[in-house]
Amino acid sequence: MDRIRIRGGRPLEGRIPVSGAKNAALPLMAAALLSDGPLTLTNVPDLADIATMGALLAQHGLEVAHDRAARTLTLSGAAGNLVAPYDIVRKMRASVLVLGPLVARFGEARVSLPGGCAIGTRPVDLHLKGLEQMGAEIALEAGYIHAKAPRGLRGARILFPQVSVGATENLLMAATLAEGETELVNVAREPEIEDLARCLIAMGARIEGLGTDRLRIEGVRRLGPATHAVIPDRIEAGTYACAAAITGGAVLLEGARLDHLGAVARILREAGVAVEEEPGGIRVSRLDGLRGTDVMTEPFPGFATDMQAQFMALMSVAEGAAMVTETIFENRFMHVPELNRMGARINVHGASAIVRGVPRLSGAPVMATDLRASVSLVLAGLAAQGETIVNRVYHLDRGYERVEQKLAAVGADIERIPG
């Protein structure tokens, strides 16, 4: 199993290209089920999760052509198999996004329940209740969701009791082919939602309310081919912003968009980090010392839960104390014991963690537990004195493209050690 070795203490200087967003590309790929296509996606990151979704769509019957050099992905054809099997769905929770498109277009789907995951249960109740409101019959059988709508889905007014990115994406896709108008209220407003809506519009969907908490969709009989560019990955951009800050360096995040960072940019500035938009991307540098800054995770445009672990690593070497409160997922503090092994002073109290900054961290062997936790350990290693070995880096490969190469190009002493 691969490991990553880091010798810390080097300020990062230079340019880091920001890849296309994994969390945008996955629902965009699922949208290919709504049409014979072809749907061509550009700026697609080369990640393990993209390969997993490609394998899932291929077994449904789509033709999947991935040109990694050109960073394009073309999906075409109609699904012949309406079952999403456990062996694939268990690898990635985003696999459940095929449910809405399959039911909307073919009137039936059997999708494995995704089950729990390392950072929380993340149930699919909102997905299922929304489809039921649109006329689908839902049964849970032997670990599978069996959804049927033989006469098609019907438009409905669906009020989400809490914000859910996945449920918003699934029901948005389903509504494009439903009969009549669907209104989705209290939807997620993440940039990835707007990106999906723009792609669907390019395919012929009728959607209003982009960027707001209320989407109105007028169903159409069929969708057609389209070409769509995946937005830059705001979480990758935020992660490398923290990397520049924790090492006392300065980097240009090429292709990143400031408006996609939401509260992350504001919180970094409060912590003493300069974040400025300029032609071609965002420049990030540390002004003087880092200041302890409290943060609470919230749906966009609030502080992203996917940035919580990285920000905690940054706060571990800030002056003073910071309180980090997680409101989105339970069990998302599993990186804390590993950071503490490196000399951080972090105490967890329920959904909050108190971080008392220390002058420096020390390199140590550490274990990654999930995607964002793993990259927080890389950040800590960049700032630590001595050598850090990050184990179980397959988590990193799910969401960060060529992370060690990108960091080495701006001055980090980092390398992958094949397992």
- Does residue 242 have an active-site annotation? no
126 is in an annotated binding site: yes
Task: Report whether 123 belongs to an annotated binding site.
Answer: yes
Phi, psi of 348 (to 5 degrees): -100, 130
Q: Which helix (H) or strand (E) is 206 found in, with range?
A: strand 206-208
Task: Please tell me whether 370 is known to bind a ligand.
Answer: no
User: Cβ contacts of residue 405 below 8 Å, gap of 6+?
Assistant: none
216 is in an annotated binding site: no
Q: Does 418 carry a binding-site annotation?
A: no
Q: What is the DSSP letter of 231?
A: P
Distance CA 185, CA 161 (A): 9
- Cα dihedral 191, 195, 48, 312, rounded to 10, equals 0
SS3 100: helix
CB burial readout 154-168, b (16+ within 10 A) else e: bbbebebeebbbbbb
Spatial separation of the C-alpha atoms in residues 185 and 415, rounded to whole Å: 46
Active-site hit among 117, 258, 323, 351 = 117
Rounded-to-integer distance, Cα 317 and Cα 409, Å:
24
**Nearest one of 377, 409, 119, 405 to 242, comparing CA atoms:** 377
Tell me if 110 is assigned to a ligand binding site.
no
CA distance 118 to 38: 35
| DSSP classification of residue 151 | T
Tell me if 23 is assigned to a ligand binding site: yes
> Cα 32 from chain centroid?
19
Q: Was 122 annotated as part of a binding site?
A: yes
Pick out the residues of the known binding site for UDP-N-acetyl-alpha-D-glucosamine: 93, 122-126, 306, 328
Which residue numbers are catalytic?
A: 117
Binding region for phosphoenolpyruvate: 22-23
- For the annotated binding site, the residues are 22-23, 93, 122-126, 306, 328
